[in-house]
Structure 1
Amino acid sequence: MPRPRRTLVSLEDTPYYHCCSRVVRRAFLCGDDEYTGKNYDHRRGWVETQILKLTEVFAIDVAAYAVMSNHLHVVLFIDIDKVNQWSDRDVVMQWHQCFNGTALTQKFAKGELIDEHLVAQLKHQIAIYRSRLSDISWFMRCLNEPIARQANIEDNCTGHFWEGRFKSQALLDEAAVLACMTYVELNPIRAKMADTPEQSDYTSLKLRVTAALKGEQPKTLLPFIGHEREHQPKGIAFMLSDYLELVDETGRIIRDDKRGEISANAESILNRLNIPTANWVKIVAEFGQLFHGPVGTLQELSRYSEHLEKRRRHFAKSCQHLPLE
C-alpha cells in the first residue's frame, strides 16, 4: 500500500532522494510507435529542459537524471540551507517563476505597500511557498504536469499521462548515492539505446562528459567537489574524473557485447566506499530489482527507520550488497 510521502523523507538522515516516473496508456516519451508510425523522440527534450529549468527555481539540485522511452529517473539533493537563506522576496520571486501566486504575493513582488491587516496572511503564504520550494513532491509535480499537458495536446486526448504517483527512495550514504547515480546514468547503455556515455542523449552523464572535455562542470547539476568540503560545502565528495572513469568502465562490464574492467583510479572510489567490485557491478546492474525502498547500510537504515518512527526495518535484506559495517 502506498505510504504518504512525509513518511519516506527524512532530511535528518539524508538530503538525497531517487525519484522515478513512468507513463501510462502505452504512452511514449521517445521512439517510434509501430501502430501510428509517429516518432516521439522530441518529448525527451521537453523533459530534460524542464528538469534543468526547475533547478533554477527550487532549492533542489539534480545530481543525476536519465530520460528513457517510457520513464524518467532523477537523483535529487534537497538544499534546506539554501531555501532558509532566501529572503521573503526571494521566495516569492522564485515561486512566481512556476505559478502566478496570489493577488497579495503579486502586490508584494511589485514592491507595493501591504496593508497591516494582511501582513500575517502574506507571511503565512510565504512560509508555505518556502516549504514547497524544498519539497520533492512539488518538484516532481512541476516536472510532470507540464509534460503531461503538452503530450495530451499533441495526442489530442485527455486523462493521465504519468502513473498516479512517482516512486521515491532515500539514499542514506555515499555508497547509495554513487551507486544510484551510476545506475541512473547508465540506463541508456544498459538498454542499448547508446554505445558510449557521450552518446547517451538526455542524461546528466552526457552533460558532465561534454563539460569535462572543456575542463568544466555543468552549472545546472550538483558538482563534484573532490575533498574540498571546506571551500565548497555543497557537492559530491569525489573527483569528477574518477567518477566518469568508474561509470564508463562499469558500463562496459554490464554490457554483454563489451569488455571492460575497473581501473585503479576508478577502484579508489570503491575502496573508499568499502564495496567489492563484484558487489558494485551487481548493485548498478540490478539496482531497480534489489532496492524498492531506502538504500543504505543496516546502521543507516536503522537510524532512518527510527527517525520516521517505523517499527520495522523494511528492505534490510538488500543491505547485504552495500559496504561492510
Structure 2
Amino acid sequence: MPKARKSQISLLDTPYYHCVSRCVRRAFLCGEEDGKSFEHRRYWVEDRIHVLSDVFAIDVCAYAVMSNHTHVVLHVAKDKADILTTEEVIQRWHRLYKGTLLTQRYLSPELRKDFHEAQIKTVEATAEIWRKRLYDISWFMRALNEYIARAANKEDDCTGHFWEGRFKSQALLDESALAACMAYVDLNPVRAKIAKTPETSDHTSIQYRINAARVGKTPKRLMPF
C-alpha cells in the first residue's frame, strides 16, 4: 500500500522535497489537439507558483512546467510561519481563500475594536490552523493543482479529474540530493528535447534565475542559493 502523505513528509528528517504532479490528459499545457493550442496553460502554472511562493512559508527552489506534468522542489520554512503575527497569517490566507466573517472583520481596525474576548480567541484559534497550513506542502500543492484544474475545466467546458491522483513527493535528505534533484528538474526540458539549452527552456526556474542574473538581480520568488 502507498504511504500516507503525512508519513512521506517529515520536517524532522528534512525540509526539502521534490513534488511531481501528472495530468490525466494527453495535451494540457503545451502542444496542440484538434487545432487548439494549450501552451498558454504553462503560463498559468508558472504564475501560480510565483503567487504561492509569496503566500506560503515555503520556498521554491526549482520548478519545471512540462507538457503533461510539473516538477517543484520546495523548502519548508517553518520558522518564517512561526514569527508571523495573527494579522499577517490572516492577510496571507485571504490572498487565496475568503476566510471567515470574523477574520474578514478582524482585519478592519474599526471593526476589531468592538470584538469581544471570545471573538478574538476564535480568530486566533483559526489563524493558528492557517499558520500550520502555510508551511504544509500538501496545502501548497492543493492551492496549485486545484486552481489549475478549475481554470482548465472551465476553459474546456467540462468537469472531472484533471490531475492523475495526488502529487508524488520525494524527500531530499542532504545537500547532494538537493543539488542533484534541482539539476534534474532544471534540465528536464533539455532532456525532453523541447529546449536546446537551459537559457531557452521556458517556464523553468533555471531560466528565471538566468534572466535575473543577467541584470544583476536575485530572483524574488525563488529561494536564494
Tell which deviates more after alignment, 110-119 or 36-45. 110-119
Q: Counterpart in 2 of 1:61?
A: 59
**Contact 2:21/2:71 (8 A) holds in 1:** yes
**Contact 2:27/2:67 (8 A) holds in 1:** no
Say which of 96, 103, 106 aligns to 1:105. 103
Q: TM-score, normalising length from structure 2? A: 0.96
Whether 2:29 is the aligned partner of 1:23: answer no
Q: Counterpart in 2 of 1:84?
A: 82
Gaps of 5+ in 2: none
Matches within 5 A, 1:1-325: 1-33=1-33, 36-111=34-109, 112-113=112-113, 114-224=115-225
Based on CA coordinates, which of the two structures has the bigger radius of gyration? 1
One-letter identity of the residue aligned with 2:26 = R
For residues 245-282 of structure 1, the C-alpha deviation after alignment (integer angstroms, 9 at most, x for no partner) is xxxxxxxxxxxxxxxxxxxxxxxxxxxxxxxxxxxxxx
**Contact 1:193/1:200 (8 A) holds in 2:** yes
Larger fraction in strand:
2
Paired positions, count: 222
For residues 84-119 of structure 1, the C-alpha deviation after alignment (integer angstroms, 9 at most, x for no partner) is 010111000010000010011111111223212223
Q: TM-score, normalising length from structure 1? A: 0.67
Q: CA deviation at 1:17?
A: 0.6
Q: CA deviation at 1:120?
A: 2.6
User: SS state of the match for residue 55, structure 1?
Assistant: helix
Give me the whole-angstrom Cα distance separating, in 2, the residues matched to 1:134 and 1:198. 31
Higher relative contact order (CA 8 A, sep 6+): 2
Q: CA deviation at 1:27?
A: 4.4
User: SS state of the match for residue 66, structure 1?
Assistant: strand
For residues 186-219 of structure 1, the C-alpha deviation after alignment (integer angstroms, 9 at most, x for no partner) is 0000000000111000000101111111222211
CA RMSD of aligned residues (A): 1.0
For residues 153-193 of structure 1, the C-alpha deviation after alignment (integer angstroms, 9 at most, x for no partner) is 11111011112210011100000100000000100000000
Give me the whole-angstrom Cα distance separating, in 1, the residues matched to 2:163 and 2:213. 34
**Contact 1:18/1:171 (8 A) holds in 2:** yes
Q: Counterpart in 2 of 1:246?
A: none
